[in-house]
Amino acid sequence: MQNEKSVNVLHTIILYCRPGFEKECEMEFCLRAKHIGELKTVSMVPASGYVVIRFREAGKAEQCQSSIMFSSLCFSRQMFCAFDEIGPLPKGNRVAPIVEQIVKCGDCFEDVFLETADTNEAKLLSGLCKKLYQPFLGELLKQGVSIGNRPDGTPADKRLHIFFIATDRAYAGYSLVNNASSWHMGIPRLRFPSAAPSRSTLKLEEAFYAFMPNGLHDKFLKSNMTAVDLGASPGGWTWQFVNKGIKVTGVDNGKMDQQLLASGLVQHVRGDGFTYTPKRPVDWMVSDIVEQPSRIAKLAGQWVAKQWCRYTIFNLKLPMNKRYEEVCRCREIIASELVRVNKKPVLAIKQLYHDREEVTGFLHV
């Protein structure tokens, strides 16, 4: 009965995104969801770091969450279905009104995230979230809601989200464990390695986690592999491969980090990443070249189509306007390069936390 009751009240989809990309996040999702049902309202406040989408019909938000693959959404950091905004919450008891709604979703959840948007203003609420975390767990337990595995020991398939947009206003709902980000606020907690020559190394590390979840690193990143890093200087992306024992050819007219060169795993080729061709096929090609996204998309497509590499991760530096349209254009460029490839290509494009005015792509066949 709980699931039937929740269908009548969960109309809303909450999406987190990078502040300033709300328009792209909303546009992409609504185009993907238009066949599911009519949208009643869309709250898209510039620089807020989140988008609220509401369906007119009951059950459509949950259907949407089940049918749209989160990994296919470029600009969304997180996706979950929720009740309408809860508030104003009484200062003396913010927990009870939210838990009252949550118990309608089910009685067992894998975890509970108390979250805010990724903005300087919203981060002021992080202290409130920390303060309320234990009271929430206590009240959930009191109401018969458990956090962790089901009573039979099997993993729960839902994750609770309590998203504060003000001290007295919040959204509450759940994501599907297998169709959402597993990171709190959709943000990976990565530590900058002191030995890496630039902070750009975090972009590639995050890409590995984003595109290769569930222990797939061992399949894609083996110590006997080879890689080419186009536009490698000073070596932030190269470092990620060297750290895994993978031999790298770093192509750039600029200098490479001396410690990387001393590793014995790096060959520095002074040259242009757009004209370089490998003497023999490699496992990986990566590129963080600052260039028009259409040129990078064509480059990535060519490397895979010509079987110069098996896998490629690349950054697309987006223009100030029509950023979603540019991503779609780059997808088409890559598809046109791969039209003669027998195997079906796999392409994922995601705006990572460590990206700025850019997105990261992962392509392989």
What mean pLDDT comes out for the span 331-350? 93
Instruction: Kindly report the number of other CB atoms within 10 A of residue 276's CB atom.
Output: 15
Q: Give the domain extent around 249.
A: 201-364
On the question of pLDDT at 174 being above 50, the answer is yes
Q: Which of 236, 231, 222, 263 is nearest to 250 (CA)?
A: 231
- The yes-or-no answer on residue 142 being catalytic is no
Secondary structure class of 111 (helix, strand, coil) = coil
178/267 same-domain check: no
- Domain assignment present for 195: no
Sheet holding 78-82, edge to edge: 39-43, 50-55, 12-16, 78-82, 169-176, 158-166, 112-115
Give the least confident one: 2-16, 37-51, 291-305: 2-16
- 160/57: higher pLDDT: 160
Considering 162, 186, 210, which residue would you say is the last residue of a domain? 186
Q: Which H or E run contains 225?
A: none
Q: What is the pTM of this model?
A: 0.93
Give the least confident one: 20-24, 71-75, 216-220, 232-236: 216-220
Residue that is written with structure tokens 């995230």 in the block: 113
The pair of three-digit structure tokens given for residue 273, joined into one six-digit string: 């990443």
Counted domains in the chain: 2
- Domain assignment present for 196: no
350/302 same-domain check: yes
- The set of residues, in sequence order, having a beta carbon less than 8 Å from that of 281 and lying 6+ positions away, is 307, 308, 309, 310
212/355 same-domain check: yes
Q: DSSP string of 122-168?
A: GGGGHHHHHHHHHHHHHHHHHTT-EESB-TTSPBPSEEEEEEEEETT
pLDDT at 34: 87
Which one from 23, 244, 298, 317 is the annotated catalytic residue?
A: 317
- For residue 36, CA distances in Å to 55, 203, 356, 362 come to 9, 34, 31, 28
263/160 same-domain check: no
pLDDT at 1: 31
Give tens-digit pLDDT for 119-130: 999 988 999 999
Considering 153, 186, 219, which residue would you say is the last residue of a domain? 186
- Burial label for 23, CB within 10 Å (0-12, 13-18, 19+), is middle
Instruction: Kindly report the number of other CB atoms within 10 A of residue 57's CB atom.
Output: 12
Rounded Cα–Cα distance for residues 282 and 305 (Å): 13
- 149/28: higher pLDDT: 28
CB 348, CB 330: distance < 8 Å: no
- Domain assignment present for 194: no
pLDDT at 56: 86
CATH number of the domain encompassing residue 241: 3.40.50.150
pLDDT at 4: 35
98/223 same-domain check: no
Rounded Cα–Cα distance for residues 362 and 323 (Å): 18
287/329 same-domain check: yes
309/257 same-domain check: yes
Considering 130, 156, 186, which residue would you say is the last residue of a domain? 186
**Beta bridge partner(s), residue 71:** none
pLDDT band at 6 (very low <50, low <70, confident <90, very high): very low
Verify cis geometry, omega within 30 degrees of 0, for the bond prior to 319.
Answer: no
The pair of three-digit structure tokens given for residue 342, joined into one six-digit string: 């027998």
- The dihedral built from the CA positions of residue 146, 152, 155 and 158, taken in this order, carries a sign that is negative
pLDDT band at 343 (very low <50, low <70, confident <90, very high): confident
- Domain assignment present for 191: no
CATH number of the domain encompassing residue 157: 3.30.2130.30
236/180 same-domain check: no
181/205 same-domain check: no
- The dihedral built from the CA positions of residue 198, 202, 208 and 210, taken in this order, carries a sign that is negative
On the question of pLDDT at 8 being above 70, the answer is no
179/228 same-domain check: no
69/148 same-domain check: yes
- Domain assignment present for 193: no
- Domain assignment present for 192: no
What mean pLDDT comes out for the span 278-293? 97
pLDDT band at 3 (very low <50, low <70, confident <90, very high): very low
CB 98, CB 135: distance < 8 Å: no
- Domain assignment present for 88: yes
DSSP 70: G
359/247 same-domain check: yes
Give the least confident one: 143-157, 268-282, 308-322: 143-157
Rounded Cα–Cα distance for residues 183 and 77 (Å): 9
